[in-house]
Structure formats: structure tokens, C-alpha cells
Structure 1
């Protein structure tokens, strides 16, 4: 691959990643509640990985050519964003923002508590799966992200280098790694610095949730109006 193209794409990717959006709100929501960041980050990465497969495989152009398919993606993305945004706003209003991280097992288990431990572990695993699925939906069902990949990746492909599909896939991986690293740093900063104040956490969580709902409404209006 052309190194100059790769570095140029990385620079453009950073500009897009540092721009606040649904991914920011989702990560900050977990950071302010002092919950582990690995699961939302994994979900966001999987969502963008799905977009990379879609675009590099040529399916992105198919979606772009069929308004009905894009409308379905838009509606699903809006529903997910509205649900998460409302959850964050409600948590901010109720004061349930700065909470302790859940433990995977109780500190001391009474005799005969094997079934209870297993049930608790299953519940934790199910919760992690839901967080991963939600994170994947936030990034993967974002029609703007899909259209961005469709419009952005082809511009940094060198015709005489690797196969076009391989180049797009590598560029997608560069975006995913960059985004994951930035969101991890953002979440750590928010969790250790901003989440120290319960009032600040409530305000920022409410603002992030409200911003996510506004973004969802804007996406819906832009697509159908």
C-alpha cells in the first residue's frame, strides 16, 4: 500500500474520531458510571468492523443505491440512539450516574451457594453481551458512518498497489484501532477525572444523552425531509 495514502487517511480519521458523536456519548455514559470500558469499546469496534466488511466487500454501494435499505438502517440507528440517550438522561435526572463497578462474584459465598454463584456469573455474562451488542449497534447502525466509509475509503486506494478490497479492509482496521485507542483514553479520563464529582457526572451524562437524542432526531429529519 501507498504509505502516503495510509498516513493521510489516518490523519483524516483522527479528525473524524475526535469530533463528538454517538460513540462519545456511549463511552462517556459507561465512564461516568465507573463501569468497565472494555465491553463498550469492543462493541463499537465490532460495529465498525462490520461496516468495513460491508464497504470493502462492495455491499456499501448496494445500500447506497437502494434508498429503502438505507431508510431501514437509518430508522434502526435512530431507535438505538434514542433509547440510549433517554437512558442516560433519565440516569442523570435520577442521580444514578456515579455508581460502583459491578463485581463478577461476591466476596464471600455461603455454603451451598454454587448455584447462586453460577446464576450471578450468567447474569454478568448476559449483561456484557448486551453492552457489546449495543455498542456494535451504535457504530454499525449509524447511516452516517456507513456513508462516510463509502465516500472516504475509496479516496485513499492506490490502483497499482494491493487489491482494492484488501486496501479498504486495511484502512478500515486503521480507523478501528485509532478510534478504539482514542475512546479508551477518553473513557479513562472521564472516569478518573470528571466522574470524581457526582454533580459534574450527572450534568455531563445528561448533556451527552441529550446530544445523542438530538443527533438521532437530526439524522431522521435529514434522511426523510
Structure 2
């Protein structure tokens, strides 16, 4: 693979991952609500979710989904329902005060649970599966072996997506210091929840032909 094939892919991927979507909304919401200590968990969930989606696409799942309206619809509705579920939970999340921080219930903020949420939101996005199948081949050099190129492209995208998610998490965690007020936290939770619900509704209404 030459630099002329890799560099356009890297630039296009960097632009794409920087655009806020459901995954970024989830990362920012957790960072605002719980601070920097959960940045690594959400980032790891995003990275594994992207890896799952890309690998499944490269193995042919994306092609199957593109050809099968039934499979596409099933995955679309599962992903959409999960986004709406997370949005409702964030909307109803209790606000934290300095006095209640130590005694707060952490059943919904365990690292494993947050990791699983980030993974599910990323991996269950049918648009990502279709996108990788349509996007990656455009940069493959037909005169070189395809598998090594796919591995390099996948690794490149994963690194960029991981750094992007971690950057959003750190920025949101830093901004969290400015939103200590319960009133502001409530607004942040409900805004983030509304955005996640909206993303879920958009995913449910997104037409297969728009992939």
C-alpha cells in the first residue's frame, strides 16, 4: 500500500469520526455526569464496538444487511430501541451534589455497565455496518493484496475513533466542573437524553436506501 492510498483514507476517517453522533453523545453524557474516571471505560467500549462493526462488515455481514431488508430492519430496530432506552435513563438520572457524591448509588455507573452501553451503541449501529462496506473499498489498491490493506485501514480507523472518543470524554469531564449546580446538571441530563432519544428515533426512521 502506498501513502497515496492510505492518507486520503486517514483524512476522511478523521473528519467522519469528529462529527458528533450517537456514540459521541453517549461518551459526552457519561463524562459530564460521572467525570474523567469513566472516560477509559466509554472509550474502550467505543473502540471494541467499532472493531466489531468493521470486522463484521469486512466478513460480509454488511453485504448481507444491504441485501436483506429483514435483517437490516431487525438490527435497525434493536439499535434504535437501545438508544431510546439510554436516552430515557439519562433524562431521568438523578442529579449529584457535593454532599451526596459519596453515598450515591453506583449500580448504574459501574465500569463494566458503562463499557457495555458504549459498546452496544457503537456496534449495533446498522449504518456503520453498511458504511464500512461502501467506504473502505474505495481506498483499496486493486493491484495489491486486499487483506493487508483492510487490516491497515481498520487499525487506522480504530485508532482515530478511539482518540476522538477519548478527547470528547476529557473535554466533557473538564467542563463538568462548571456544571456542579443541580439545576444545570438536570438541564445537561435532559438535553443529552433528548439527543439520544432523537438519535434513536432517527435511526428507526432512517431509510435503507439512504445507506
Q: Shorter-normalised TM-score: what interval?
A: 0.7 to 0.9
- 2:167 alignment counterpart: 185
- The CA deviation string for residues 103-145 of structure 1, in whole angstroms up to 9 with x for no partner, is xxxxxxxxxxxxxxxxx9xx89x93332222211111101111
The question of whether the paired residues in 2 share the 8 Å contact of 1:52 and 1:168 is answered with no
Unaligned runs of 5+ in 1: 103-119
Aligned residue for 1:193, secondary structure, equals helix
- The CA deviation string for residues 166-196 of structure 1, in whole angstroms up to 9 with x for no partner, is 3223212211111111111111111112443
The question of whether the paired residues in 1 share the 8 Å contact of 2:91 and 2:193 is answered with yes
The question of whether the paired residues in 2 share the 8 Å contact of 1:195 and 1:201 is answered with no
Distance (whole Å) between structure 2 residues aligned to residue 193 and residue 204 of structure 1 = 11
The question of whether the paired residues in 1 share the 8 Å contact of 2:25 and 2:196 is answered with yes
The question of whether the paired residues in 1 share the 8 Å contact of 2:14 and 2:160 is answered with yes
Equivalent residue pairs, number = 203
Task: Pick closer, same or farther for the CA change 1:5–1:213 going to 2, 3 Å.
Answer: same
- 1:155 alignment counterpart: 138
Task: Pick closer, same or farther for the CA change 1:101–1:73 going to 2, 3 Å.
Answer: farther
- 1:78 alignment counterpart: 80
Q: TM-score, normalised by structure 2?
A: 0.84
Q: TM-score, normalised by structure 1?
A: 0.80
Distance (whole Å) between structure 1 residues aligned to residue 97 and residue 47 of structure 2 = 24
Q: Which has the larger radius of gyration?
A: 1
- 1:107 alignment counterpart: none
- 2:48 alignment counterpart: 46
Task: Pick closer, same or farther for the CA change 1:55–1:49 going to 2, 3 Å.
Answer: same
Aligned residue for 2:11, secondary structure, equals helix
**Pairwise CA distance, 1:97:** 8.6
Task: Pick closer, same or farther for the CA change 1:155–1:189 going to 2, 3 Å.
Answer: same
Distance (whole Å) between structure 1 residues aligned to residue 102 and residue 131 of structure 2 = 35
- 2:20 alignment counterpart: 20
Task: Pick closer, same or farther for the CA change 1:129–1:193 going to 2, 3 Å.
Answer: closer
- Aligned-residue RMSD, C-alpha: 2.8
The question of whether the paired residues in 2 share the 8 Å contact of 1:21 and 1:212 is answered with no
Moved more, 163-172 or 72-81: 163-172
- The CA deviation string for residues 25-46 of structure 1, in whole angstroms up to 9 with x for no partner, is 1111211121421111111111
- 1:221 alignment counterpart: 205
